[in-house]
Structure 1
């Protein structure tokens, strides 16, 4: 990258002094627009040249122009990294589009800005389409209630157990946060139980005393949603088992329904097809199996799988798909696998025989 190449794009000697102010603004806009239009076709060396030029220009222009440059850079898949980092660490009027949309920024950049800057920058970061646990941990630990609400409502934000529990704690006095959390699809069963516990009558009375009757009423809605999610039907209602059953019956006629097919459906998290396949292999009804494979206690499924001769690989895969992906903790999956591996096929069949005898009598 030579100085000659740089000066072909911008002659900085013409931009000095007050007289060059309008020219600096015009060039910054033109260079940003040109790069946005050609970025996919630029070589790495050309990107570096644009980066060095834009980095100098954004330090020479006013906020309005820097915002224009940021808008041009925000949605690019590849871009001038140093310039983008500089804009992301600018005043929020400039930084916002970069923080919300730019995929050029790395987690380390986001964490650094979240720790250095205030709630306005954190709120922008909280709006990103995808957020890692490392980033959300920082946002929830240091952000204000507005930031926490935004993270809680972001389906693309991955939440650690620590962050979920911190949000639930804050939700004890905030109906909006309770409602937002109750609508997340990735909360573990233990989290939902904790969320239910904070939506107490005491909180309702406090909100009414503060003249916040509307928030108090929203608590009821949050509790209803959370309670509904505790039921099997909430989870099963997401899946089309009838269509899945029809597909599996067609595959069965071609001799293509076996344990390998079941593992394939599990690896693709195709829960409805996995349920229908398992039901066909164990000669049970789809509805009955679906309830076994959604309940927080997987013991009946474990017993049936062992009695039917399934491998531990298949059982382990099934314990991590569909509703069980959210309803079972890693510890519960590990415990279930331990039970499966210790149990003999004969023991499993005796348990099933006992069930049948209990039902018949």
Structure 2
């Protein structure tokens, strides 16, 4: 009580820190709701009045405590970054909704600390990727314990076209596979290309030829001979379409129904890009699929994105109308393909599609 009544800075610091020690030594008594309510009020009042240095020491001392009042932890997580950093990094009290609130409302420095926090969930990773803040995404890619899925890596690689700081950490990311490495190859410099070629199963000569061709086409289309990096074999119209599709995908608005819309508008390249994006496929594999002699691979790709089997005949008919009758196949082949779509779940369909394309 004497310390509580004192206005001396040292006394207030001593009171706060000794209260923390008292709680750490008596954790078994802290589950009582009455005690929790009392602690919340006491700490809230003390922290609200405490000076910067006291809050800094308190944050270091309380950051790993599982008994700390949630209200106080959330207040400290929005404090000056030196105070907030250990709280954001270590506090078990902070849950996904708290971290998302920091990503939405706090400063860039606070957002970066969220991206660096150990073992952040896929939900937090998704929010960071969709937020598209370069510094935050770079911190995320450098966090080996974050729950980064293959879909997240695909989106981050697409963003690496413009965000240079993503390229090196992505090239060394533990989740990178052969397919994703092939996408990343287009954006990185010679040193990283060599590293990717050695580490993954890439047809480096074919990729380099396609890149050189893309650069020549870009030079020809831009005044002053400036160059720009574009995906392998992509035309300028396809580039514009891809950007639109990427925006829809990032906003969570890209749906299988967009496939039919693209076909009705006779935009074959857009159909390819939408299907590739929805299924996280290589666009070249989709092009091979729609030129094949059977509709079964197309059915597998459609099954992978969860397309309803009743929509497949319409998609196949529209596609053949604008693609010179391809993919081929008689009525029996169409019935077989439709049955395949109905039988395969998305996960199995992805594997079956990739094996089928590899066999072409």
Alignment pair present for 1:225 and 2:225? no
- 2:185 is aligned to 196
- 1:26 is aligned to 14
Tell me the secondary structure at the aligned position of residue 140 of structure 2: helix
Q: State the distance in 2 between where 1:342 and 1:110 align.
A: 40
Q: State the distance in 1 between where 2:203 and 2:92 align.
A: 34
Deviates more, 1:146-155 or 1:104-113: 146-155
- 2:51 is aligned to 62
- 2:27 is aligned to 39
Q: Show the 5 A alignment for 1:157-236.
A: 157-159=146-148, 163-172=152-161, 177-187=166-176, 190-199=179-188, 204=189, 217-227=191-201
Distance change in 2, residues 1:342/1:93 (3 Å): closer
Task: Return the TM-score normalized by structure 2.
Answer: 0.51
- 2:77 is aligned to 88
Counterpart contact for 1:188–1:329, Cα < 8 Å: no
1:226-281 deviation digits (Å, cap 9, x = unpaired): 54799xxxxxxxxxxxxxxxxxxxxxxxxxxxxxxxxxxxxxxxxxxxxxxxxxxx
Counterpart contact for 1:175–1:219, Cα < 8 Å: no
Alignment pair present for 1:121 and 2:110? yes
Q: CA deviation at 1:126?
A: 1.2
Q: CA deviation at 1:220?
A: 3.1
Tell me the secondary structure at the aligned position of residue 59 of structure 1: helix
Counterpart contact for 1:195–1:226, Cα < 8 Å: no
- 1:243 is aligned to none
Task: Return the TM-score normalized by structure 1.
Answer: 0.51
1:187-240 deviation digits (Å, cap 9, x = unpaired): 5665343223333xxxx3xxxxxxxxxxx534532454354799xxxxxxxxxx
Q: State the distance in 2 between where 1:329 and 1:342 align.
A: 12
Q: State the distance in 2 between where 1:83 and 1:71 align.
A: 14
1:22-56 deviation digits (Å, cap 9, x = unpaired): 32222112212322333354233323322221111
Q: CA deviation at 1:64?
A: 1.6
- 1:331 is aligned to 304
Structure 2 unaligned segments of length 5 or more: list them: 205-281, 283-300, 310-336, 345-360
Q: State the distance in 1 between where 2:93 and 2:77 align.
A: 11
Q: CA deviation at 1:83?
A: 0.9
* Aligned partner of 2:38 among 44, 49, 59: 49
Alignment pair present for 1:14 and 2:23? no
Q: State the distance in 1 between where 2:192 and 2:15 align.
A: 52
How many residues were matched structurally? Answer: 220
- 1:359 is aligned to none
Alignment pair present for 1:134 and 2:108? no
Distance change in 2, residues 1:333/1:220 (3 Å): farther
Distance change in 2, residues 1:228/1:194 (3 Å): closer
1:113-140 deviation digits (Å, cap 9, x = unpaired): 1111122101111122221233223323
Q: State the distance in 2 between where 1:124 and 1:99 align.
A: 6
Q: CA deviation at 1:78?
A: 3.5
Distance change in 2, residues 1:144/1:11 (3 Å): farther
Counterpart contact for 1:175–1:218, Cα < 8 Å: no
Distance change in 2, residues 1:151/1:106 (3 Å): same
Q: State the distance in 1 between where 2:147 and 2:341 align.
A: 30
Q: State the distance in 1 between where 2:197 and 2:70 align.
A: 45
Q: State the distance in 1 between where 2:69 and 2:58 align.
A: 11
Structure 1 unaligned segments of length 5 or more: list them: 1-9, 205-215, 231-295, 297-327, 344-361
